[in-house]
Structure 1
């Protein structure tokens, strides 16, 4: 039986999403980091191995820093680095392309999740803000982070497929493949596997044989990826206390809308989670609730996985790293969709409680977008400064400069910058030198 792909049109103009995506592309190119900074410098030995026909012997298929596979991102970055002559702007365009696919998929999920509901135009604009949010700039401006959008697409596309009215085996298998590729972008895509199994298991209208046929490839692929990850990882980080994991997770999710107010963020997230319980119970028998809960569950899974890997070493405040906003925003997309679906037709509850809460959240998200956009501008300015200083000082590079630009990779970065210099890659490319 064919899948139902079509979804109802939104009440806002068809050009709104493409225009917003183009604006974010312009901002990405304007604010992109013009050299390989921080972890990005780890791509250099992989490029060198590729140039010598020894890619399989490099770090290409291995865990990066003992926590994430980046093989899918490496494949993209090898291509963009070669095509651009070592200029990171094309890496950023590739990241934006994956992000644009992600945004389009999320927009289709929104249309599917609100089908048949009388949803005001303003809430559609609010969804557009959360989907095309300036918080993504922290990842879009840094070419290395193409991995983030490969990862997110690998989770969100299967959610889209499995929440269709009549998904097919072909779409299910495509979702499994995308999720596996997503894990090879960022390991946090593993959170998509239990979400997919839950979506399949709760299909009460399906016979158990069909549910098993859909679940089996997810079980096999998920088990294989977990086994590979466990076999490849290095020494385990200390497991944090449950309280630290909980606070880290609340901070992680709250950073998507309240990074500018870190004290308020975990409490607002906790309130959102508590409010989601009666909303879920109210519309639990409606199939439209599935995509909203799936997005929330995936983001919560990302938060928990990251907390288990990072909170014990870095503490709960580490969850406010700006780059995590891309993983936390799906939670708020799902939450907004759920709350509107559940309460829009309950006049008293909607007017007194739910609508003010949603308006406040959208206002926070707007302010947070400005806050994170400002941070992206600051990161760009610092990166431009680092590039100019490296060109001016090379080969006698100041230790403080190297520490700022590469952190604990400062020592190996000196050797890798020598290769970039030999190849004529940024920051040593001719165009950049001519602009000094």
Structure 2
């Protein structure tokens, strides 16, 4: 009988990722928002159109707030809202399912990116902590944000496919399709298209004809999506200055590990970029570095695209919005992977400079997880109060309450809440009359 192979002492137990994801699901269900809040109320007219067979005439295929596609998210939310009877917990479970697929894909990138590098188990635990970071709860607890995880999966999965040792044309086309679906979740997934083209061009072992064959569908689909987006948006806003654009992007990235220290966050992100540039030079001949660089480049692209759309209206501090943490964490996952790959064998440099830098970043990330977890708890508590007040006050809803729960959508919230009550959906599922 063949001898059983001993487990690799440097890898994590097989249960580590599933258990971490189960803990994230438990936190998601515990902290989920029990009613449609803020942008989520915009699903109501789409749902009404769907119920009357008029989905094509609704906002389903149009930009949301003139900036993002959400069609893929709408499709998921229509299904989960119908299946749950209008209870948002199932929307959150769907978001978690996409998050779990994203986590599994990132974990496959970790395995490939550190293969043969004898990376200590501690760094793998650290990477797992970033992948299932509590910062994800800001998007997981709000069912509307299923779009975020569709978007991220639509970018990370193609990066994984294009960094395989022997990707095929079929896998390449699958990556293009996933990226297009990601754009229909959030338009920031467009950032993966130039990243994919760079990954293809970097394949020096391929003939140029093969590289062109792989690049062509990315060029065609990317150009089509950009043209569709620009046509749907109409007149574009003037470009912001480079300084404020860069600050917004650094805030966006730094918020992934230092949302609790906003003055330090952009400086730490800038330091991380400088360190990554040196690490990238050290790894310039190592194919394993490509996936790490691609993850970082995608996150930087998301930061810049978001800055272009938001900084003129909201200022650079808007980059610290907690919901951007899911995108920023992709940057820090790629950064940690690249830094460990580049510097682990550097002897004194590793011990004196790089390892303390990584250690400080991980301490910041852990503290940020507590900070963002507390914010998720606070948001959940407010949502519970909103649900109770809306049920108690209906139909005589206070204007201040609607402004808190729906912001600029307060004016249309009354009509949409009336439909939710008619259907027996949350927050009226406890007391809706049978005749409604």
2:129 alignment partner, SS class: helix
| Pairwise CA distance, 1:200 | 0.1
| Pairwise CA distance, 1:277 | 1.4
Q: How has the CA–CA distance of structure 1 residues 138 and 112 changed in structure 2, closer, same or farther, with 3 Å as cutoff?
A: same
| Pairwise CA distance, 1:278 | 1.4
* Aligned twin of 2:305: 305
* Aligned twin of 1:426: 426
Q: How has the CA–CA distance of structure 1 residues 287 and 374 changed in structure 2, closer, same or farther, with 3 Å as cutoff?
A: same
1:63 alignment partner, SS class: coil
1:411 alignment partner, SS class: helix
- Please provide the CA RMSD for this pair: 1.2
After TM superposition, the score normalised by the length of structure 2 is 0.96
Contact 1:299–1:327 (CA<8 Å) still a contact in 2?
yes
After TM superposition, the score normalised by the length of structure 1 is 0.96
Superposed CA offset, 1:216-246 (max 9, x none): 0000000000000011114423421110000
Contact 1:283–1:289 (CA<8 Å) still a contact in 2?
yes
* Aligned twin of 2:273: 273
* Aligned twin of 1:30: 30
Contact 1:188–1:305 (CA<8 Å) still a contact in 2?
yes
CA distance in 2, matches of 1:87, 1:237: 38
| Pairwise CA distance, 1:272 | 0.4
1:205 alignment partner, SS class: coil
Q: Across the two proteins, how many residue pairs are aligned to each other?
A: 426
1:241-390 aligned at under 5 Å gives the runs: 241-390=241-390
Contact 1:237–1:313 (CA<8 Å) still a contact in 2?
no
1:357 alignment partner, SS class: helix
CA distance in 2, matches of 1:432, 1:334: 49
Superposed CA offset, 1:68-94 (max 9, x none): 000000000000000000000000000
* Aligned twin of 2:4: none
Q: Show structure 1 runs of 5+ residues with no match.
A: 1-7
* Aligned twin of 2:49: 49
CA distance in 2, matches of 1:50, 1:9: 54
Query: Is 1:14 equivalent to 2:51 in the alignment?
Result: no
| Pairwise CA distance, 1:10 | 6.1
CA distance in 1, matches of 2:217, 2:112: 25
CA distance in 1, matches of 2:322, 2:386: 20
Runs of 4+ in 1 over 4 A off after TM superposition: none
Contact 1:426–1:432 (CA<8 Å) still a contact in 2?
no
* Aligned twin of 1:109: 109
Q: Show structure 2 runs of 5+ residues with no match.
A: 1-7
Query: Is 1:240 equivalent to 2:254 in the alignment?
Result: no
| Pairwise CA distance, 1:265 | 0.3
Q: How has the CA–CA distance of structure 1 residues 10 and 427 changed in structure 2, closer, same or farther, with 3 Å as cutoff?
A: farther
